[in-house]
Amino acid sequence: MKTEVYNEIMKVIHSYTGSNVDPRRNCTTLLQERFPDIPHYTLSSIYSLDYQRRMKRNHQRHARAAKDLYRRYNEIIQTTNKPGALLQISDQIDLSPSLLARMILDQHYERQAEDGDPAATKSAITKLMKDTTLIKDSRLAYEIYLCILHDDQYGPITDTIKHSLGQEYELRLLRKIQELNLPFRDEELMRKHGYDKTPDVKLEVPIAVDGFIVNWIESKALFGDEEGHKTYMKEQYLSYWNRFGPGLVIYWFGYLDYLEQFSDKKLIIREDFPSDITFMDPKSIKPTLIT
């Protein structure tokens, strides 16, 4: 994707004023209207990445005011029986409903612990977020449930969808490799052999893509932007290159066209499985006699 197009998309995202209470006011719907030639999944991924980063910054700021937010929540539910108190607050402070819900749940059980009840651990809070029927306070349980239901970027439902999407595209990659009869080891097999950081696929016999040698392939079911790519380079790709040599990264939902300049010939980037492949014939390699 050209930088100019990406910048126009970001302008629309940053000028968007939506609402968690009204799901019809959806940013990805607006993006589809403005950029009809760009696939929906690409626009959704660009929006999702920007939203998550913004929410992480906001969460750090609002976490320091968790007690005040819990007090505000209680003031609202004492004055009205209308559900959606937490959604209302999340709109006002520009924080993901699920992130706010977890914060309020933490505060609620802290108060319970002060009254003599057992303190809730992080894993216990996570379990309550996944199954709100376990929350004894019925009003709070419903408020938390509404937050999870209306949050399409964070929370248990979103985590499940993203995990499923990642697996779907990994399977698509594996099917393509199997169709080409390429010998390989997948991530699970490599971990069994003691590798801690592993690509999705390690080719047993390298291939060449447009003249570039590829020893491993990583599948990313998202859009490749500069911040994300630099983070992956630092945390994943450089480790793969150190162990296995150069490789291929597939950003299935597209990527910024200038990203390869950050790769320093350690990897190449594509948005689909490449078609221009040169296969190596191991039988053609003559052994070298060392004297």
Average pLDDT over residues 22-50: 86
Residues in contact with 204: Cβ distance below 8 Å, sequence separation at least 6, in sequence order: 182, 183, 184, 185
Cα–Cα separations (whole angstroms), residue 184 to 176, 190, 199? 12, 10, 11
Residue 226 near residue 259 (C-beta atoms within 8 A): yes
CATH 3.40.1350, the chain: domain bounds: 159-281
Question: Identity (one letter) of the amino acid at 245?
Answer: G
Fold (topology level) of 159-281: Trna Endonuclease; Chain: A, domain 1 (3.40.1350)
Q: Which residue has the higher pLDDT, 285 or 226?
A: 226
Q: How confident is the model at residue 18 (pLDDT cuts 50, 70, 90)?
A: low
Measured between alpha carbons, how far is 49 from 225 in angstroms, rounded to an integer? 9
Contact 55, 95 (CB under 8 A): yes
The total number of residues shown for the chain amounts to 291
Structure tokens at 58: 């906001």
The pLDDT of residue 116: 66
* Cα 61 from chain centroid (whole Å): 22
CA distance 172 to 162: 15
* pLDDT class of 282 with cuts at 50, 70, 90: low
Q: What is the per-residue pLDDT across 162-176, written as a single tens digit (0 to 9) for each?
A: 999 999 999 999 999
pLDDT at position 209 over 50: yes
Residue 248 class from Cβ within 10 Å (0-12 exposed, 13-18 middle, 19+ buried)?
buried
Mapped onto helix, strand or coil, the DSSP state of residue 141 is helix
